[in-house]
Structure formats: C-alpha cells, structure tokens
Structure 1
Amino acid sequence: MNLLVYTLQANIYALIILSIIFVNFRKRADLTNASNRFFLIMLKVVMAILILDSIGISLYGLAGQPIHFLLILLTLIYYLLNPLPSLFWMAYVHYTIHRSEKRLKKLVAVALLPVYLNSILSIASIFTGWLFYFGADNVYQRGPLFVMVPICCYFYIFLSFVMILWNRNRIRQRDLLPLLFFALPPFLAGIIQALIYGLAITWPALTISLLTIYIFIQSRTMNTDHLTGLYNRREFDYYLEDWMNWHSKKKQLAGFMLDLDRFKEINDNFGHNAGDRALINMSEILRKSFRNTDFIARIGGDEFVVVLEVDDQKEIDGLLERLKENMDNFNKQTQERYKLSVSSGSGMFFPEREQNLSEFFGELDRLMYVEKAMKKNISV
C-alpha cells in the first residue's frame, strides 16, 4: 500500500481520538486555568494540521491549475501552524512549573524567534521552494531548507524538556514522567520519518503525547477541589505518603493547619453563595501568601492545610506574617459584607522525635483549635 495511504489512515485515526478528547475536555475542564487553555489550543492546532495534511494528501497528483493553487495555500497554512503545538507545549510546561502568566509572557516574547523564522521561510517558499514546492504533476516535494521546520518545532520541545529537568525538584514525582514522556513519540516519529521519505507520522505520534497529557490532567482533576482549585484531601494523603521518598534532604518539612473563623455565621447570615465566595477568597489569599512550590489543599468544609519545606522557624514566622498582611489587605478592600480571619496551627516536623506525619498534622490541628477556642473566649 502507498505510504501516503498509510499516512492518511493514521491521520484519520488521530483525528478521531483528538475529537473525542476535545469534546470531553471542553465540557469538563476549568478554562480559567492557563494550563488547560494551552492544552486546548494544542488540541485545536494539531487537529487543524491533521485536517490540512489529509486534504493535501487527497489532492496530490490531481491535475489542474486550481488544484495547484489550492495545494500551495493548504500547504502554506500547514507549515505556518507547524511550530505552534510545540510553542504552546512549552507554555504549558512553564506555567505548570511556575504558575505565573507574567513570567510566561516574558519567556514567549523572547522565544518567538523560531515561529517568525518559520513564517518567513513558509511564505517565501511560495516563490522560492525553500521548504516545499509542487511540480507540474501537483505532487508535493520537500525543499532544500525543509530541515528548518523540524528544527523550529523541536527547539520548543527540547527547551521544555530542559525546563522540566532543571525544575524537577519543583515537580511532583508522579507528574514528572508524563511531562517528560510528551517529547518521546514525536521525537521517535521524526527519526522514522527522516529515514523513510514519504511517510508522515509526526502528528499522529503527537496525538499519543496529547492523549498522555489528557490522562495526566484528568488524574490531577480527581485530586483537586472543584470550588477553590486547591488540592483536596485525597491528594493531601498522597502527598504525605510520597514526601519521604522525594523531599529535599537539605530542608525540613513544615505545616500549617488553617480554619476559617465564623464560617457558619457567614453561611447563616449571608447565604451559602457568600460562604462559597469566602472559601474562594481564602484560597486566593493562600496562593498569594505562600510560594508556587508549596502544597496547599482544602481538606474539609472550611479547613485548609499548607505543606512546605523550610530552612528554619523564622521562615515559618515570615510566611505567617505575609498571610496576615494579605488577609488584612483583603478585608480593607473587599466589597463583601464579611471579614475573613483564620485560626492556625503551625510547626516544623522533626523525624528524630519518632513522630509520624499523621501525628504531626494531628498536633497542628490541635494547636489550631486551641487558638480558635482562645479567640472565642476573648470575644466573649
């Protein structure tokens, strides 16, 4: 069977898989999350590339000047889109690690050079045939500078791979392998495609990568609190189980148990919608107060936990002070009819005391309720 037929079949199978992922992801994903938006854009662009490639393959060899012009137009758009999935994969990885759109914009502004180069070469190829051209028989041919296209694409994949390895200590161990695996299918497909001229399987291979990341995102969603976007109790338990295997030997584990004060009064006086907003506002305050690398979870109705690695007690005191400042700022600026405050228990975990992590957080929980009881006595 002709290699183009194999390619067309692979494209159709890939499109079916991506269409199913796209429909399900768009229905269920939280698109306010930047990582999810980048993944959705990757899906759209790869689907568009597969459609363009499939239409082009179906038209190869057909006679006529209109077909010739149509093939050039389709191929031009195809080549213009080529680096975009890799670019948005780099954006996905960067945001997953650093959680900062401002920082990401600075990186993308510098990293867009390969996209510009690819665009210039693609448009110029209409007249020069640098990347592609069609003969009188309307059969696609690679141009002498075709190698620049995979170079532009693999630049972003390689940069993402380095970014993951460089920041591996900031990434959960169970998250590391799916992120690293993304580059493997298109990399192997690129080698096979270079060896067998006429076979184009890079984009179907990238479908395998996208399927892997989709499963990865779904598994993370199961461990996320749907209201606040923080981790849930299930992930907190997993985190404590994993911590001993991958934590930094140079730092010590610390924890914060936090409980919203007078949460029941907020619900009773202002309604459950106000209570939900209070939880969401509290989660945003926690995100601002702690670092991107710190683990933050909502483990009960109005109860939160933060797990982090620190050097000493001063670092804990500084984070508590920042939490207090951010909460004071919120209360000064908010239009809500309530003010937020928390009771907390915090401390450092010392394994030499033969205290396991469950007992440690149980002690922090006790300290938190002692503070809550003291506040009630003071208010009385």
Structure 2
Amino acid sequence: MLNFLYAEVNFVGAMVLLLMITNWNRSSFNKLPLDQKIFNGVMFFNLLIFVFDTGMWLADGDPRPWMRHVMYASTILYYIFNPLICLLWVMYADFKIYESKYGLLRRMRFYVIPAIISTILSLATIKTQYYFIIDVNNHYIRGEGFPVMSILALIYLVYAVWMSLDDIRRNGWGASQEVNMTLLIFPFIVIASVLIQIWYFGLSIIWVCTMLACTSVYIKTQNAQISTDYLTGVYNRRRLDQHLRRRIRMRRQNRLLFAAIIDVDAFKSINDTYGHVEGDRALVKVSEILRKTSKRSEAFVARLGGDEFIIVGERNHQDEIALFMERLQMNVVKYNQEHPAPYVLTLSMGHAVFQEGDTIDSFLAAADQAMYREKQAHKAEGRLSGIQTGSL
C-alpha cells in the first residue's frame, strides 16, 4: 500500500514538473539563455528520476521475472541520474555567478569526474552489487557502496554552496543577493532531504523536495522574465545594469572589458514603409545576428530600447575587439545575401573600453558617442537608406 502511495506522490511531482517544463519551453529552446537551458535540464532530469523511482516502488517485491528487469533497469538509471542532476545544478550555479560560458566549459572537465565515477559504479553494480542488491523476492536493499553515491552527489551541492558563499564574500551580500538567494535555497533544501532520507531508510522525500526547490527557482525565474526583452529574446536594460555591476566588479585586470552599442540604420523608414510588424521582424533579425556573432564568446547581448542593442564582452587586446566588430558587420552582410528582402539591414556601431574611474553611465556614454560618430559618417556616405538599397 505504501509503495502505491509513493508512486502517486511521484506522479503528482512529475506532473508539476511537466507543466513547468511545458511552460518554460513555450518559445524556441534555442532562444533561451544558457542558464535557462541548464535549468530546463535540471527539471527534466528531476522528472525522469520520478519515473525511475516510481518503477522501483511498483516493482519492489513483485516476483514476476519481467518485473525484476523493471526493478534493475529503474534502480540503475536512478543511481546514474542522482549525481547528474546535481552536476547540472553546479553548471547552473557556475554560469549564474560567473556569467561565462567558456569559463564553464573549461571547468567542465573537472565537474564531470564525480558523475563519471558514479555512472561506472552504477553499471558495475549489476555484477558487483556494490550500490544496491535486488534479493530473490525482488526487494531493493542498499549495498555497501550506497554512501559513495550519496557523497558523489553531495560533492556537487556542497561545491555549489561554496561558490555562492565565495561570491558573497568577494562582492558583498547586497550586490550578490539577487543571484545567490536562489542558488543557496536549492542545495540547502536538497541536502537536508538527502540527510533525512539516509538516516530514515524507507522514507522517500528527496525528489519531492527537489521538485519543490525547482518550483521555487522556476517562480523566481518567471518573475525575472521582466529582465528579458519579449520581442527579441535578448536581455533588456534592467538586466544589463545588473550584469554590468557584476561584470565590472569581477573583471580580470589583464582583460579589456568593452561595450559595443549597435543602432539599426533607417529603422524608422522600415517602419513607415512596411509597417511595425515588419519593423519588429527586422529587430528580431538583428538580435539573431548579434547572438550568432556572440555565440562563441563571453559576450552579453541586450536591447537598450527601440532599435538600439548592446554587446558587453572581454578581450585580451584592442585588435581582438576590432576583429569582433568586423565579424559582426560581415555577418550582417552575409545575412542580407542569404535572406533577400525589400530592404537591406545595415548597422551603425561603436564601442568603448572600460577605464579605471569609469561608472556604468560614463562607460555606456562613451560607447554611445562612438556609435553616434559612425552613424553620422553613414549619413555623410548616404548609407542610411536601407530601403532604397534593398529595392535595387
């Protein structure tokens, strides 16, 4: 009877996660920021673990041969996915704190080690019965290696807590609260549930508590959607200010922090001639080009408002910044060639490098002035009439 009760609880938890995942992916998955993609994986893995855990509860004690196969398959997958969901959480915390995709990729070679060890031990358990034992009556029994799996999973959660506390130490609670409040709540809830379940064998609360922790992150993230520009999917000015405050505090002294402001040429003419729907499409196209150009770098893309966008990133030398700007212009040209339209997209852009003594406002003002100078040069060259060019 208790087995079916736990199975019903798992079913409810899985349905809650499924609803959150469905709502989370209403727009294109590819357009989601990396942190949201990773958290999407956390929720999906939590849902799968509910499925595996349900298989274990329903098969437990059922002597039929095929149910024994269900028991083994569910239990092995359950043990494999335990550390994997914790690995995803470390990836999520890493990106939220450091906001560096390539920094995360560099650290991944270390992050995956506990998950690989646990996966090998889980598969070996079929022969060694190290993690668990399935007795002749098809009952699940913890093996002598069960604490090893728990420790490997807890390593991730403890490390995620350490990253948050270290960020608070370096930047102060006031500057880190918005990021680290959620990052601390999730692992504390899960760690507490793990310790309780280890102590009280037969109790099954870990993944319900994990689902509740996911729900708290989901609600906070949904509230934070006001930081994302609804039309283009890139970040908005509010999120830009938050990012710049953290990026300036955490910038590396041997790197150049730059901001590039981009303005769509002749945007008013596109709106006036083809309507605001086509103008919106043009903005979406521009955001796609900016994302594509920034995809393989640590660049942050946001919409300032209207037809203005901004890219914030770091490079080693001025030449690398100039190369990035050239590549952006080349991608605009390539896009126009591959997507014929009655108008041609052209961009005016300028950038500034953060200097000691700069504020966010002075930093952005310098980039804006550089962009304005290029726009004036485009006007002098007669390049702002994208509609006429596109109709040739």
TM-score range, shorter chain: 0.7 to 0.9
Decide whether aligned partners of structure 1 residues 172 and 321 sit closer, same or farther in structure 2, where only a CA change above 3 A counts.
farther
Partner Cα distance (1:70, 1:163) in 2: 39
Partner Cα distance (1:109, 1:364) in 2: 37
Decide whether aligned partners of structure 1 residues 232 and 12 sit closer, same or farther in structure 2, where only a CA change above 3 A counts.
same
Partner Cα distance (1:136, 1:283) in 2: 60
Q: Are the aligned partners of 1:279 and 1:302 in contact in 2 as well (CA < 8 Å)?
A: no
The structural deviation recorded for 1:281 is 4.9
Partner of residue 302, structure 1: 307
RMSD: 4.4
Long gaps (5+) in structure 2: 384-392
The structural deviation recorded for 1:248 is 6.9
Q: Are the aligned partners of 2:118 and 2:152 in contact in 1 as well (CA < 8 Å)?
A: yes
- 1:330 and 2:331 matched: yes
- 1:175 and 2:182 matched: no
Q: Are the aligned partners of 1:258 and 1:305 in contact in 2 as well (CA < 8 Å)?
A: yes
Q: Are the aligned partners of 1:257 and 1:344 in contact in 2 as well (CA < 8 Å)?
A: yes
Partner Cα distance (2:65, 2:369) in 1: 80
Partner of residue 40, structure 2: 40
Partner of residue 346, structure 2: 340
Partner Cα distance (1:187, 1:174) in 2: 22
> Mapping of 1:212-223 within 5 angstroms?
212-223=216-227
Partner of residue 262, structure 1: 266
Partner Cα distance (2:302, 2:250) in 1: 21
The structural deviation recorded for 1:86 is 1.5
Partner Cα distance (1:225, 1:47) in 2: 29
Deviations 1:258-313 (A, max 9, x none): 42333345664896477235522553377479854xx6431222113467899xxx
Q: Are the aligned partners of 2:348 and 2:371 in contact in 1 as well (CA < 8 Å)?
A: no
Partner of residue 120, structure 1: 120
- Matched AA of 1:118: S
Partner of residue 56, structure 1: 56
Q: Are the aligned partners of 2:289 and 2:332 in contact in 1 as well (CA < 8 Å)?
A: no
The structural deviation recorded for 1:19 is 2.3
Decide whether aligned partners of structure 1 residues 81 and 327 sit closer, same or farther in structure 2, where only a CA change above 3 A counts.
closer
The structural deviation recorded for 1:187 is 0.2
Q: 2:379 aligns with which of 365, 376, 379?
A: 376
Long gaps (5+) in structure 1: none
1:147 aligned counterpart, secondary structure: helix
Partner Cα distance (1:249, 1:85) in 2: 30
Partner Cα distance (2:270, 2:20) in 1: 40
Partner Cα distance (1:250, 1:110) in 2: 22
- Matched AA of 1:297: A
Q: 1:204 aligns with which of 208, 212, 233?
A: 208
1:118 aligned counterpart, secondary structure: helix
- Matched AA of 1:326: R
Partner of residue 279, structure 1: 286
Partner Cα distance (2:354, 2:43) in 1: 44
Q: Are the aligned partners of 2:265 and 2:345 in contact in 1 as well (CA < 8 Å)?
A: no
Decide whether aligned partners of structure 1 residues 139 and 261 sit closer, same or farther in structure 2, where only a CA change above 3 A counts.
same
Decide whether aligned partners of structure 1 residues 17 and 285 sit closer, same or farther in structure 2, where only a CA change above 3 A counts.
closer
Tell me the percent identity: 23
Partner Cα distance (1:379, 1:297) in 2: 28
Partner of residue 30, structure 1: 29
The structural deviation recorded for 1:62 is 3.5
The structural deviation recorded for 1:79 is 1.9
Decide whether aligned partners of structure 1 residues 106 and 138 sit closer, same or farther in structure 2, where only a CA change above 3 A counts.
same
Deviations 1:207-254 (A, max 9, x none): 122112222332333311234432224445x649x959x957999x99
Decide whether aligned partners of structure 1 residues 284 and 42 sit closer, same or farther in structure 2, where only a CA change above 3 A counts.
closer
Q: What TM-score, normalized to structure 1?
A: 0.74
- Matched AA of 1:93: A
Partner Cα distance (2:375, 2:51) in 1: 60
Q: Are the aligned partners of 2:89 and 2:160 in contact in 1 as well (CA < 8 Å)?
A: yes
Partner of residue 138, structure 1: 138
Decide whether aligned partners of structure 1 residues 265 and 330 sit closer, same or farther in structure 2, where only a CA change above 3 A counts.
farther
Partner of residue 16, structure 2: 17
Partner Cα distance (2:296, 2:147) in 1: 47
Deviations 1:128-160 (A, max 9, x none): 322111334433211111111112222333343
1:16 aligned counterpart, secondary structure: helix
- 1:184 and 2:185 matched: no
The structural deviation recorded for 1:64 is 4.4
Q: Are the aligned partners of 2:264 and 2:345 in contact in 1 as well (CA < 8 Å)?
A: no
- Matched AA of 2:14: L
